[in-house]
Amino acid sequence: MVLSQTSCTANVALRRRRPPPPPPKPNVIVHPFPKPPVLPPKVPFPKPPVLPPPQWPTPHPRPPPPPPPRQPLPSKVNDGHHPSLPPPPKTLPLPHTYGSPRYPPPPRRNY
């Protein structure tokens, strides 16, 4: 019985063993970072077509029409819908005196 158990475990151990790694190839460069994916070449934008030089003499374009004349601003005169008030009377300012209520009267001295 001891022999059969030993032979069974030996067979199981042999089955689970992984195959050895392949031998290293000579001159293999190991890169620290993976290479970026190769992008397709850039296609340049199509150039605009070259226009032929203009034929001389070129007809001159018509000048733009002149702007319409400016309308005069409406005057501030009453248009007749509302009665106008008479202008306020013009009053001249009074000459400055110390007797005006803005300043107190000067002190009186008794001699």
Question: Which string of DSSP letters, residue by residue, matches 64-105?
Answer: PPPPPPPPPPPPSS--SSSPPPPPPPP-PPPPP-TTSTTSPP
pLDDT of residue 48: 84
pLDDT at position 54 over 60? yes
Residue with tokens 């001699």: 111
Q: Please, which pLDDT band fits residue 101 given cuts at 50, 70 and 90?
A: low
Which H or E element spans position 2?
helix 2-16
pLDDT of residue 26: 73
pLDDT of residue 25: 74
7 contacts 1 by C-beta, under 8 angstroms? no
The pTM assigned to this predicted structure is: 0.16
More confident residue, 100 or 29: 29
Query: Average per-residue pLDDT in the chain?
Result: 73
pLDDT of residue 58: 60
Share of the chain above pLDDT 70, in %: 60
